[in-house]
Chain A
Amino acid sequence: MEKRVVFHNRFLPYLLVAPQIAITVIFFFWPASQAVVQSVLREDAFGTSSYFVGMENFAALFEDDYYLNSFKITALFSTLVTTLGLGISLVLAVTADRLIRGATIYKTLLIWPYAVAPAVAGALWGFVFLPGPGVFAWLLAQMGVDWNFHLNGGQAMFVVVVAATWKQISYNFLFFLAGLQAIPKSLIEAAAIDGAKPFRRFWTIILPMLSPTLFFLIVVNVVYAFFETFGVIHSLTRGGPAKSTEILVYKVWYDGFEAQDLGGSAAQSVILMAIVIGLTVIQFRYIERKVHY
């Protein structure tokens, strides 16, 4: 899509894009290219000079059990966050959509967790599950669970998944509700006249019509679980106990900052970049398809 009518000016457009392009180059492209450069270098013991090591940093990564483990943890974490978050919000959106009264109020009362920072979400749920006074911790203890997510890796994963999912429900809910409300009522009525009962209508009409939204949200949620949950992990578990919640993004930060392994951290950055690029390409394939739809 292009404008038919435009202004003619030789210098002004460059002046207008200059701030954005300057920041993009200085803080995005330059560091990203540095990450690529760093990933094939290794510093000597004193940190004064570095030398080319080719793919060695990557090779080392894939021989590192902790890194492979981090991959598995990230996969588990993002699968749980995505499926739980989408499942719960879909149920809520379908429920709210079919209620004539109250849908708007319910929307207002459900959207605000979107505004809560991941780190704060972590703090809040950490308190609910706090071994001892935490209310859910106490409930679990009453049920005979030996609850302490600071010591038990599985329990730690459970808590970070709860906190991360909680924060994302409102976003998913908004999109599902918008998607549902965009389905023409006449279509559903036609199906009803054809004799389809509500469940049947959901599977054969509503869900297929909602599939573009669903697909979009899957990508967004995976991106969220991969890259935007650092605050949840850092505030709740610091990747522990025993690295049981150390997702990839947390490990990049930890290896680079706390462990000072620049080459290794840079190699991880490059791998993460490849993942983001892959996800973005998938997302845009989908958008293109939606345009032709």
Chain B
Amino acid sequence: MIERRPIADAVGHLIMLAAIFIVAFPIYLAVIAASHTIQDVSQTPMPLLPGAELLTNTARALFDGPQLVGVSGATPAIVLLMNSFIMAISIAVGKIIISLLSAFAIVYFRFPLRNIFFWMIFITLMLPVEVRIIPTYKIVADLGLLDTYTGLILPLIASATATFLFRQFFMTVPDELLEAARIDGAGPMRFFWDVLVPLSRTSIAAMFVIQFIYGWNQYLWPLLIASDYKYQTIVLAIGRLIRAPDAFYEWPVIMGMAVLALLPPVAVVVLMQRWFVKGLVETEK
């Protein structure tokens, strides 16, 4: 910057550090809670330094689940995590595949219904699950997809965001590449696989991060579709457990589960930060 102002700089760093501390605080506290016995956590206030029970509590969360009277059936977090992974990865991969295909059709072909399809995809932006809860539930029920992975995943796979991102990317691919491929004898699908998909790697990675998080963090949808504990996700379980009347007695285990619930998406964001930031900022252009 223009002025050299060491004091202002120091204040700046202090503000940032304070912000980082406050932002991280609830998670720190969750980890602390997960490292103590319920007796320790029940003190007022609870301890602020780590205890020795982290492994025990995490193991209990993973393999037994919290024992609560108010919530029928204790589901071990390992099952919940598995469901979350299945849901998040299938949604991310599914969205990427069908969006790549439809963006390819819309950019690289001229056909009579092209504009209508484009607008249909666009309009889905205006129809989040939240505004059509009951009828969507009904359809899934009529199709016999309640308490199935298909029911959890399939309806969430249509994505205007991913289609638009890929469309935008395809528009920047030089026409000459397609012409060169045509002279080389590549048909549409060959061009798609050999040229377009490899070139879209960065966009695909960005979309994967964003859609993985989207899938992992779903709450309302599993709440509607998965009444059977076998199909519940970890995020859904947290929301249900935390308000159970006797949740109090299992805080260390529940907080351990909360940390397990946020680790995978946070890891994905931090590890794939470059693609994630690029994808996020670019989809909104």
Contacts and interface: CB of A to CB of B under 8 A. Distances in A.
Interface in A242-293: 249, 252-253, 256-257, 262, 265-266, 269, 272-273, 276-277, 280
In the complex, which of the residues A16, A34, A120, A265 has the most CB atoms of chain B within 10 Å of its own CB atom? Answer: A120
Interface residues of B, number: 102
Contacts of A17: 101-102, 105-106, 117
A203 interface: no
B273 A128 contact: no
B138 A272 contact: no
Contacts of B276: 111
B7 interface: no
Given A12-B188, A198-B3, A230 B130 contact: yes
A54 interface: no
Given A27-B136, A234-B239, A238-B243, A276 B126 contact: yes
Interface in B260-281: 261-262, 265-266, 268-270, 273, 276-277, 280-281
Contacts of B105: 12-14, 16-17
Contacts of B179: 5
Contacts of B125: 280
Grouping DSSP codes into helix (H, G, I), strand (E, B) and loop, the B interface class, with mixed when no group exceeds half, is helix
Contacts of B230: none
B82 interface: no
A120 B234 CA distance: 9
Interface stretch (B50-58, B73-81, B107-115, B198-206): B107-115
B72 interface: no
Interface stretch (A57-65, A67-75, A79-87, A93-101): A93-101
Q: Which range holds the interface residue count of chain A?
A: 35 or more
A4 B175 contact: yes
Contact of A110 (B20, B99, B121): B20
A20 B154 contact: no
Contact of A3 (B13, B43, B108, B281): B108
A138 B239 contact: no
A239 B41 CA distance: 27
A91 B15 CA distance: 9
Nearest to A276: B126
B231 interface: no
A265 B27 contact: no
Contacts of A13: 105, 109, 111, 114
B25 A116 contact: no
B128 interface: yes
Given A23-B155, A234-B219, A133 B265 contact: no
Contacts of B131: 32, 35, 227, 252, 269, 272-273, 276
Nearest to A173: B19
Interface in B4-58: 9, 12-13, 15-16, 19-20, 23-27, 29-30, 33, 41-46, 48
B120 A31 contact: no
B110 A6 contact: yes
Interface string B178-194: 11000000011101000
Given A6-B110, A135-B48, A115 B127 contact: no
A20 B12 contact: no
Contact of B101 (A19, A100, A266): A19
A47 interface: no
Contact of B273 (A34, A111, A272, A277): A111
Contacts of A174: 277, 280-281
B217 A118 contact: yes
Which 4 A-B pairs give the minimum distances between C-beta atoms? Answer: A117-B217, A34-B135, A138-B45, A31-B135
Given A98-B1, A166-B26, 5 more contacts: A19-B101, A122-B239, A175-B281, A238-B243, A276-B128
Interface of B: 1-3, 9, 12-13, 15-16, 19-20, 23-27, 29-30, 33, 41-46, 48, 97-99, 101-102, 104-111, 113-114, 117, 120-121, 123-128, 130-136, 138-140, 154-155, 157-158, 163, 171, 175, 178-179, 187-189, 191, 213, 216-217, 219-220, 223-224, 235-236, 238-239, 242-243, 251, 254-255, 258, 261-262, 265-266, 268-270, 273, 276-277, 280-281, 284
9 contacts: A6-B109, A19-B102, A32-B131, A96-B16, A106-B16, A108-B273, A128-B26, A230-B219, A273-B132
